[in-house]
């Protein structure tokens, strides 16, 4: 794989600081804030074109600029940045996965998230509050023990706790023996939490643009030009867009729910099916829920935002589709399951529900790295769990593009694992808890 060389003088523009002093100065002066990033005309050539302005595409652009000095980069989005899965995510962060490869990978993202606000000069509202995955039967209790062991071996803080400890952490949970599915214990992961998803996207966009990356919204990629080799495979030459053609030797596909459509433009097939995932939010109430709670058996999870709303989610809809409509079945199922867990919530009102697209792989792990087409990279297969991986994926994909080789941390997630049969099975840790 070819590496992209950094220019000797990367372009830099200093963005307005978002510190307390600047806030005070702007408040007193009544002046408008400057644009978070400048608009620039789309050029006919870039060193790197990133398709998809979600957390993954923007993080890759940011780390290309910051870690490798590669700034001749365009991020293209068919809509607005964060308008895909990133802006629809319930933004749960955790690293308590099932496989050593998964735990190591997501834990690196947690490390990057911890300092992200300072790194980006943007308040991303990371709230570390603990994450509980409830076990309602013996087999899920066994899986929780397994996950706790794998987590601890990788240095990640997770343990199995009993119902009394669950009750102490979340007093509103019904831990009695009465429910249809009594709570037998839980996997407790103290570093887990939530974050403000829009802020992460905007923070990466602003910081990448400040280092010279161009961001183009309303710019749909409609084709990818590949010079086909006679012996098979090929080499990327450029992309076609609704705003004009661009020559480039490197294209990164970071389009989540649309990833198979964009890969097909380069002649690359991905083992991915696209499913809708729904979520919902209630009216705000006084803070009472200080942990993220997931129940795989009841297909539901819940957290409380800093504004007091309860955010609920579930597993993907049962049919592959590109629809982003909310359904009554989802709202009904969700409400009955949540009330089973926390009967006191029966009087709360749902304000809104929404849906996003998830690109599901057979092993519930992502696909990252190069493809049989030289210069065509993928960062896809993010299913229902990709928001938390934005920083580590951006860092790893930037390194892959800059050096031509994937770093060790994503080696297990290569596309060829599906032909080699070396799957990274994460279904037990990623089917409901995102």
Ligand X SMILES: Cc1cc2nc3c(=O)[nH]c(=O)nc-3n(C[C@H](O)[C@H](O)[C@H](O)COP(=O)(O)OP(=O)(O)OC[C@H]3O[C@@H](n4cnc5c(N)ncnc54)[C@H](O)[C@@H]3O)c2cc1C
Residues lying near ligand X in the complex (CB under 6 A) are found at: 51-57, 76-79, 83-86, 88-92, 220-221, 254-258, 262, 277, 279, 313, 356, 358, 382, 384-388, 434
Give the CB-nearest residue to ligand X.
54
Nearest distance in Å: CB 17, ligand X: 26
**How many residues belong to the chain?**
434
Nearest distance in Å: CB 286, ligand X: 23
C-alpha–C-alpha distance, residues 369 and 233, integer Å: 16
277 membership: H or E segment, kind and range: strand 273-282
- Toward ligand X, which CB reaches closer, 21 or 328? 328
Read off φ and ψ for residue 171, nearest 5 degrees: -60, -25
On the 0-12 / 13-18 / 19+ scale of CB atoms within 10 A, 48 is buried
- Toward ligand X, which CB reaches closer, 77 or 107? 77
Three-class SS state of 99: coil
Based on its alpha-carbon atoms, the radius of gyration of the chain, rounded to whole angstroms, reads 22
- Toward ligand X, which CB reaches closer, 231 or 319? 319
Nearest distance in Å: CB 79, ligand X: 4
And the tokens for 71?
């700034």
Nearest distance in Å: CB 115, ligand X: 18
72 membership: H or E segment, kind and range: none
- Toward ligand X, which CB reaches closer, 93 or 184? 93
And the tokens for 337?
């399951």
C-alpha–C-alpha distance, residues 236 and 234, integer Å: 7
Nearest distance in Å: CB 222, ligand X: 7
C-alpha–C-alpha distance, residues 121 and 257, integer Å: 29
C-alpha–C-alpha distance, residues 402 and 70, integer Å: 8
- Toward ligand X, which CB reaches closer, 77 or 363? 77
- Toward ligand X, which CB reaches closer, 184 or 368? 368
Nearest distance in Å: CB 241, ligand X: 7
């Amino acid at each position: 794989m070819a590496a992209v060389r950094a220019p000797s003088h990367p372009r830099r523009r200093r963005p307005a600081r978002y510190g307390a002093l600047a806030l005070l100065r702007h408040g007193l002066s009544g002046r408008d804030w400057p644009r978070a990033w400048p608009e620039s005309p789309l050029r006919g050539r870039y060193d790197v074109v990133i398709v998809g302005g979600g957390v993954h595409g923007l993080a890759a652009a940011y780390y290309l600029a910051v870690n490798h000095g590669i700034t001749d980069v365009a991020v293209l989005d068919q809509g607005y940045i964060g308008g895909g899965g990133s802006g629809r995510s319930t933004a749960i962060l955790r690293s308590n996965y099932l496989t050593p490869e998964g735990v190591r990978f997501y834990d690196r993202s947690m490390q990057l998230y911890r300092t992200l606000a300072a790194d980006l000069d943007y308040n991303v509202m990371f709230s570390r509050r603990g994450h509980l995955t409830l076990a309602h039967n013996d087999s899920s209790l066994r899986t929780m023990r397994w996950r706790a062991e794998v987590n601890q071996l990788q240095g990640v803080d997770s343990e199995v706790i009993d119902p009394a400890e669950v009750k102490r952490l979340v007093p509103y949970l019904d831990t009695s023996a009465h429910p249809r599915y009594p709570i037998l214990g839980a996997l407790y992961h103290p570093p887990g939490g939530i974050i403000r998803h829009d802020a992460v996207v905007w923070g990466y966009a602003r910081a990448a643009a400040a280092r010279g990356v161009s961001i183009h919204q309303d710019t749909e990629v409609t084709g990818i030009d590949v010079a086909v080799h006679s012996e098979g495979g090929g080499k990327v030459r450029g992309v076609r867009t609704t705003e004009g053609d661009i020559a480039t030797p490197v294209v990164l596909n970071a389009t989540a729910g649309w990833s198979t459509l964009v890969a097909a433009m380069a002649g690359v097939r991905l083992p991915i099916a696209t499913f809708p995932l729904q979520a919902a939010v209630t009216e705000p109430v006084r803070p009472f829920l200080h942990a993220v709670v997931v129940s795989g058996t009841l297909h539901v999870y819940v957290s409380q935002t800093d504004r007091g709303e309860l955010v609920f989610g579930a597993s993907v809809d049962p049919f592959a589709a590109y629809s982003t409509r909310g359904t009554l079945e989802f709202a009904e199922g969700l409400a009955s399951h949540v009330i089973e867990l926390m009967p006191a919530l029966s009087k709360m009102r749902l304000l809104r529900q929404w849906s996003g697209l998830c690109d599901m792989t057979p092993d519930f792990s992502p696909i990252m790295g190069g493809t049989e087409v030289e210069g065509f990279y993928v960062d896809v297969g993010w299913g229902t769990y990709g928001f938390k991986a934005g920083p580590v994926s951006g860092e790893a994909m930037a390194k892959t593009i800059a050096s031509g080789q994937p770093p060790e941390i994503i080696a297990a997630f290569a596309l060829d694992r599906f032909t080699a049969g070396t799957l990274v099975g994460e279904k037990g840790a990623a089917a409901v808890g995102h």
